[in-house]
Chains A and B, each alone.
Chain A
């Protein structure tokens, strides 16, 4: 792999940009691999990258039915934070933030990780109690968070309408939170994995598993059979479909989650603002567009369009909080299919089938965890047992009752 650098930029500029190496190969699938990862989103690609670079697994493939990052990785609103209530969540999300902080350097790829600060608003006594409890729990886990008064909120976002229908009573700020460029995360991990020998196979859909004596030995794909020592399934909204192929069910339901971007404007908002209470969140992309999101649709679906009524539910609170934005037009709207668990925490787990591992259930908020999830999953697959960070997120928690209930406490959908 030829490294990207200032020098390379100059050299390739002089060569009319014709000498750039392809970021990754497009090999034909081999007959068999030590580990096959299904799903070429950020989490799958990160898993493959760490398997090849840190776990000494030589023959790894990523099998993607469409294109890299075409699932939720390329559809999300890119918010990164680690201000969760519970210890297990702090473990995995903060692990991710620490990896984010060095990721562009590590991958030699600019993932545009921007720690612009994440401001969570409180609009009621209940909200204030919730951020009080969560903020202190975050502190005890050694993670940064600060309480803000309404005046401090106004200093950060001068044009906010504090005295809206549900007045802003306070805020919780994580300064190390922010955003990253979603596509770049998929591409950077893909390029790094490819350089370490991982075969990335796009336009190849997994249609079934080969299971012998309750042990997975390969996958059926639209490009034929591929043998596998171990298989990691990282297919987000389609995880239940893959589980059905393997003969079991998951504690998941798939919902459309939508996002919007406005026409681009000059820099106006330099942090991420989110509100659980009135349910909207917004940040500004480097291109100047407002990136807006809110809750998932009201019923499970694989339609990947999103229902109309959610538009009003999102734009209403946005305009109430920032009356200024009422004159902006939305340019684009889209949806992804998110895999939601009842406790709103992910699943990184062994399954009833030996050597078959699942990493799913990230629902509305897994982009932020991409590096940490891939890292923990890779080490767990390589070792054959879930590591310390992943272990609490086992499927068994839905039988034992040891849920990691971030549903009520963690911030809004993102």
Chain B
């Protein structure tokens, strides 16, 4: 079972959290001029990497706040958690 370090509450069991997929996907601002392909890419296409994944979590059964995490998707090890809006943390060149 994974322990997740909520930036606001500290270390808690994974079952207190919900994962909401890939992070750092900015909503396009020039929405009127987007092509179908650009819209499709924003809404549906994902990196889905086998390796380092930057992702969104929410502490649903705790402080109910959103934050980001870096996880290795093969070992499921969480390498860092950080606040929404902060840049991707350096996790030591891991792939």
A interface vs B, CB < 8 Å?
238, 240-241, 244, 249-254, 298-303, 307-309, 342, 398-401
Contacts and interface: CB of A to CB of B under 8 A. Distances in A.
B76 interface: yes
A249 B47 contact: yes
Contacts of A400: 36
Contacts, number: 69
Contact of B45 (A249, A254, A298): A249
Contacts of B53: 300
Contact of A250 (B39, B45, B55, B74): B45
Given A301-B76, A303-B76, A251 B1 contact: no
A342 B42 CA distance: 13
Interface in B13-48: 14-15, 18-19, 21, 36-37, 39-41, 43-48
B81 to A, nearest CB: 14
Given A254-B48, A308-B1, A309-B15, 15 more contacts: A238-B50, A244-B49, A249-B45, A249-B48, A251-B45, A252-B46, A301-B74, A303-B74, A307-B1, A309-B14, A342-B44, A398-B43, A398-B45, A399-B39, A399-B40
A332 B90 CA distance: 39
20 contacts: A238-B50, A240-B46, A240-B47, A240-B48, A249-B45, A249-B46, A250-B45, A250-B46, A251-B45, A254-B73, A299-B19, A300-B21, A301-B73, A301-B74, A302-B74, A303-B74, A308-B1, A309-B14, A398-B44, A399-B36
Contacts of B50: 238, 240-241, 254, 302
Interface of B: 1-2, 14-15, 18-19, 21, 36-37, 39-41, 43-50, 53, 55, 71, 73-76
B18 A252 contact: no
Given A240-B49, A399-B36, A307 B73 contact: no
Contacts of B45: 249-251, 398
Nearest to B77: A303
A303 B50 CA distance: 9
A401 B43 CA distance: 11
Nearest to B76: A303
A298 B18 CA distance: 7
A399 B43 CA distance: 9
Contacts of B14: 298, 307, 309
Contact of A300 (B15, B43, B48): B48
Contacts of A244: 49
